[in-house]
């Protein structure tokens, strides 16, 4: 059964990440979030705002880690996260971002992205939870 409260989600995440080395942290983070929240895809990306490039730090997709090449921030949900700190699209995200080839390749329907902030308040990147079916997220 999936947790339904924020404290329970954070407790489970802390349990899963408590003994993780720095080297494998992002891989454990994406897999743990997918397991705890029951979503198909979790991505952690670094954003180079000056060049407009997303570099993937870790991706868990459909039960396995995958590699992705750096790609343009332009026309992606991550661009909206960079501009507004978060984005939630419960369904039809591919229709809203038709130029995002990764959304199409993963057959993403629902998207939830939150900004990763630097200690000084700047924007570093995105953690995105994505689901291949519209009712995949709890409202």
Q: What is the DSSP string of 73-130?
A: -TTSHHHHHHHHSEEEE-S-HHHH-TT-HHHHHHT--EEEEEEEEPTTS-EEEEEEEE
pLDDT band at 121 (very low <50, low <70, confident <90, very high): confident
Q: What is the pLDDT of residues 53-67, one digit of tens each?
A: 999 999 999 999 999
Please provide residue 7's backbone torsions phi and psi, each rounded to the nearest 5 degrees. Answer: -60, -40
Model confidence at 31, pLDDT cuts 50, 70, 90, reads very high
Domain assignment present for residue 3? The answer is: no
Nearby residues of 29 by Cβ (< 8 Å), 6 or more positions away? 17, 42, 44, 58, 127
Residue 1 — pLDDT band, cuts 50, 70, 90? low
For residue 19, tell me if it sits in a domain.
Answer: no
Query: Which CATH number does the domain housing residue 67 bear?
Result: 3.30.450.40
pLDDT at 23: 78
Across the range 100-121, mean pLDDT stands at 92
User: What end-to-end distance do the CA atoms of the chain give, in Å?
Assistant: 17
Say how many domains are in the chain: 1
Residue 29 lies in a domain: no
The verdict on residue 94 lying in a domain is: yes
Give the domain range for residue 99: 39-136
Q: What's the CA gap between 95 and 92, in Å, rounded?
A: 5
Question: Higher pLDDT residue, 90 or 18?
Answer: 90
Q: Is the pLDDT of residue 16 over 60?
A: yes
d(CA 124, CA 49): 8
- Look up the pTM and report it: 0.85
């Amino acid at each position: 059964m999936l947790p339904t409260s924020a404290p329970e989600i954070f407790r489970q995440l802390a349990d899963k990440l408590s003994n993780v080395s720095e080297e494998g942290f992002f891989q454990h983070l994406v897999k743990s979030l997918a397991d705890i929240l029951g979503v198909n895809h979790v991505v952690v990306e670094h954003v180079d705002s000056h060049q407009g490039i997303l570099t993937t730090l870790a991706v868990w997709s459909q039960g396995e880690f995958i590699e992705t090449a750096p790609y343009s921030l332009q026309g992606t949900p991550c661009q909206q996260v960079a501009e507004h700190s978060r984005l939630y699209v419960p369904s039809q995200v591919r229709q809203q971002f038709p130029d995002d080839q990764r959304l199409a390749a993963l057959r993403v329907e629902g998207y939830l992205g939150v900004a990763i902030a630097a200690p000084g308040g700047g924007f570093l990147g995105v953690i995105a939870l994505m689901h291949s079916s519209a009712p995949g997220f709890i409202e």
